[in-house]
Amino acid sequence: MAKVTPRAQDYSEWYLDVIREADLADYAPVRGCIVVKPYGWAIYEHMREFLDRRFKETGHVNAAFPLFIPLSFLQREAQHVQGFSPELAVVTHGGGEELEEPLVVRPTSETIIGYSYAQWIRSYRDLPLLINCWNSVVRWEKRTKPFIRTMEFYWQEGHTAHATHEEALEEVMRILDVYYDHMRADCALPGFRGRKSLYERFAGALTTYSVESMMGDKRSLQSCTSHDLGQNFARAFEIKFLDRDNTEKYCWTTSWGLSWRLLGAVIMVHGDDQGLRLPPKIAPIQVVIVPIYKTDAEKSIVFETAGRLFQTLKAAGMRVKLDDRDETPGFKFNDWELRGVPVRVEVGPKDVANGMVGLARRDRPGKEGKSFVSQQGLAEHIHTLLQEIHQSLLQQAEHFLHSHIRECNTWDEVKEAVEDGWALAPLADNPANDEFIRNNLTAKTLNFPLDQPEGEWTCVVSGQRVRERALIGKSY
């Protein structure tokens, strides 16, 4: 039987146990890389499909750009190369020969895409240019954690060009909302939309926005980012257009990304001591049918009904599996709970005789989540149940999030709050304040939430008067 360390005993070990025992991923022979197994990749695929549909509904199209980027491209934008230099993987030889110019293995694609946009954009008629890429990138991380921080990771990165700064800002906020809606509606993940501090913004951006999510150990995970790049990359790569007034102008560009670390968030936000608890929309298997029998005669009767129910649920569009393994019901129950399947259907001889089935909800452990329902109308009942499970997981996560955020007005209150959650405190957006927080706490500035109450407060670090508060907490 699978062994999972209790979360209260060692949260980090619990996370690694769940990934291993639920068959999500394995370590690769290259340090810092992972092999994603079929069950783990299926979860990511569902997340990707939902997000890709949202991008296309907002007018974006997919494209692909090279994995290798000339080193000189990154050097064109000073802040960009400075921010990424410690993480770069650089190729100096190829085909047995030293390269004339080193190539960087893609850490992000602003530069190579900026080069292409400069070739493609000529007139205001070419704008806006809205492109998204699904790819992997490499960042030479020293401390890694599967899905959360790996040397190679899969993500999407969007890159757009606009005629005005106003249009670019609209895009930045539109995408932030797309991410936020995807997290809540598809992954049952709450979070705070906000502006990253000047210290924490993306290298080369004017402004960075993020959604910050609270994990089960009360640490923050930056779930996604959306960047206003201003004209920094447009000037570095000469991305210009002829405007309606017949003058040549630089474009305004954006970039934005969400990686498979959101899968890590799903594990850490929803998981419990039994393993995964998957939101129905992204679960590879939404319903599992477990036949229960003792004799061959019972087996024949039970499997006939189980097979019929399988076909009914499949025809109703559900991702359903009939577990016909030669294992005990208890083994199967534990296995599917570990894998986070939202609904388990139990069919035994008495259920067949009574025209009933047993249902177990993964979001509610034990007797609370068990019920018996008629086989008639089972598909409709489970369809409604899946919606209820999504809402249940979201509400549980929201309750946990808000119950571990403390409003603070002094530095001592902040120090106390971040030991068991996040602080929401008045803060001046000054890199010196970020550095003070990092140097004096095992925490950092997460973001300045977009929803700010009216008022004026005293910054908990500098003492100056401010009109906004920041979330401060430990993070991954």
pLDDT digits (tens, 9 = 90+) for 53-88: 999 999 999 999 999 999 999 888 767 667 678 889
Please answer whether residues 209 and 195 qualify as being in contact, where contact means their C-beta atoms are separated by less than 8 angstroms. Answer: yes
d(CA 272, CA 439): 33
Question: Are 472 and 444 spatial neighbours (Cβ–Cβ below 8 Å)?
Answer: yes
Structure tokens belonging to residue 431? 């890199």
Segment 324-338, tens digit of pLDDT? 999 999 999 999 999
Do 191 and 180 contact (CB within 8 A), yes or no?
A: yes
Banded model confidence at residue 2, pLDDT cuts 50, 70, 90:
low
pLDDT bucket at 185, cuts 50 / 70 / 90:
very high
pLDDT score recorded for residue 76: 86
Domain residue limits, the chain: 11-270, 287-385, 405-473
SS3 state of residue 411: helix
Question: Does CATH place domain 11-270 in 3.40.1080.10?
Answer: no
CATH assignment of 287-385, among 1.20.120.420, 3.90.78.10, 3.40.50.2300, 3.40.50.800: 3.40.50.800
pLDDT band at 296 (very low <50, low <70, confident <90, very high): very high
Helix ranges, 362-462 (H) = 378-403, 411-417, 431-440
Q: Using a pLDDT cut of 70, give the percent of the chain over it.
A: 99
Three-state DSSP string of 307-342? HHHHHHHHHCCCCEEECCCCCCHHHHHHHHHHCCCC
Question: What is the structure's pLDDT at 1?
Answer: 56
Instruction: For 376-431, write each residue's pLDDT tens digit.
Output: 999 999 999 999 999 999 999 999 999 999 999 999 999 999 999 999 999 999 99
Only one residue has tokens 């089960």, namely: 216
Tokens of 350: 């008495």
Check the CA dihedral 171-174-178-179 and report its sign: positive
Give me the helices (H) in 58-192, please: 71-75, 78-84, 110-120, 165-187
In this prediction, residue 81 carries a pLDDT of: 65
Whether the pTM exceeds 0.85: the reply is yes
pLDDT at 126 over 70: yes
Q: How is domain 405-473 classified at the architecture level of CATH?
A: 2-Layer Sandwich (3.30)
pLDDT tens, residue by residue, 352-379:
999 999 999 999 988 999 999 999 999 9
- Assess contact for 228 and 205: CB atoms under 8 A: yes
From CA 311, how far away is CA 252, in angstroms rounded? Answer: 53
Give pLDDT tens digits for 22-41: 999 999 999 999 999 999 99
Non-local CB neighbours of 127 within 8 Å, separated by 6+ positions: 121, 161, 162, 163, 241, 251
Say which DSSP state 62 is in. E
- Contacts with 347 (C-beta within 8 Å, 6 or more apart), sequence order: 289, 290, 291, 292, 302, 305, 306, 309, 357, 358
Q: Which of 393, 398, 401 is nearest to 219 (CA)?
A: 401
- Identify residue 273 by its one-letter amino acid code: D
**Distance of CA 394 to CAs 266, 398, 452, 473, Å?**
11, 6, 23, 21
